[in-house]
Amino acid sequence: MSYQWNWSVFGQETVVGDGSTYAGWMLAGLKMTVTVSLSAWVLALVMGAIVGVLRTVPGKGLQRVATAYVEVLRNIPLLVQLFIWYFIVPELLPTAWGNAIKQLPPDTQQLGAAILCLGLFTSARVSEQVRAGIQSLPIGQTRAALALGLSLPQAYRLVLLPMAFRLIVPPLTSEFLNIFKNSAVCSTIGLLELAAQGRQLVDYTAQPYESFIAVTVMYLLINVVVMTLMGWLERRVKVPGYMGH
């Protein structure tokens, strides 16, 4: 095969003359992937906890709203949701808001849409885990909390949620891994994350294999780091007396 391998391409300055090396582009992409994923993860945990709780509270109305939220977010492809957040939501908001959004720099708009979209998409999945976690607790826990004089919100906040979250660390780990992988979809709206930078390198250098291998290895590294951290967390918060998975 006639392909010329040249790993030193990463040390070269880019042809666009922005003073960065190609390795610099890669690291900027990695930073963007991590920023988007972590911000979206915070949103997903908060919304997931709220919606997961709503699906278990007494009262049909709230349960229906929460179920509808989950079904809509789970049954529409991520790519379609992303395009809706990026292209359509600004159009549908009141004109003044829409214009304010459109006047933001494009990369801010992309980042905002990416975080919102990924966060809410993942929150539907997190909420299912939270619900399963709460429902796996003995009903006596709720009753005991209420009998001790706690209000229902207090019972959730002080008794049920802390237990539920400790039990669902393993499934949350896989959602956490997914959010990093799903963030690659955001390259389609022009967000310069890892996959997009890899593609850019293919266009600007004659070394497509090196750049794609580098990007792939970086995703593998993210995976290893997340699994190691979550494994540590899982051991830390394990509830004694429950089966470990």
Q: Which residues bind other proteins (CB under 8 A)?
A: 1-3, 71-72, 74-81, 83-84, 87-88, 91-92, 94-95, 98, 177, 180-185, 187-188, 195, 198-199, 202, 208-209, 212, 215-216, 219-220, 223
Least distance in angstroms from the C-beta of 78 to other proteins: 7
Query: Please, which residue, 76 or 144, has the CB nearer to other proteins?
Result: 76
**In the complex, minimum distance from the CB of residue 239 to other proteins, in angstroms, rounded to a whole number:** 24
**Whole-number Å distance between alpha carbons of 175 and 233:** 15
Contacts for 67 with CB less than 8 Å, ≥ 6 apart = 55
Residue closer to other proteins (CB basis): 75 or 105: 75
Cβ proximity to other proteins, 76 vs 158, nearer residue: 76
Contacts of 121 (CB under 8 A, 6+ apart): 44, 73, 78, 81, 182
48 or 198: CB nearest other proteins: 198
Tell me whether residue 142 or residue 200 sits nearer to other proteins (CB atom). 200
Smallest gap from Cβ 100 to other proteins, in A, equals: 13
CB of residue 199 vs other proteins: minimum separation in angstroms? 6
Nearer to other proteins, 131 or 159 (CB): 131
Kindly state the smallest distance separating residue 216's Cβ from other proteins, in Å: 6
* Nearest distance, CB of residue 84 and other proteins, angstroms: 6
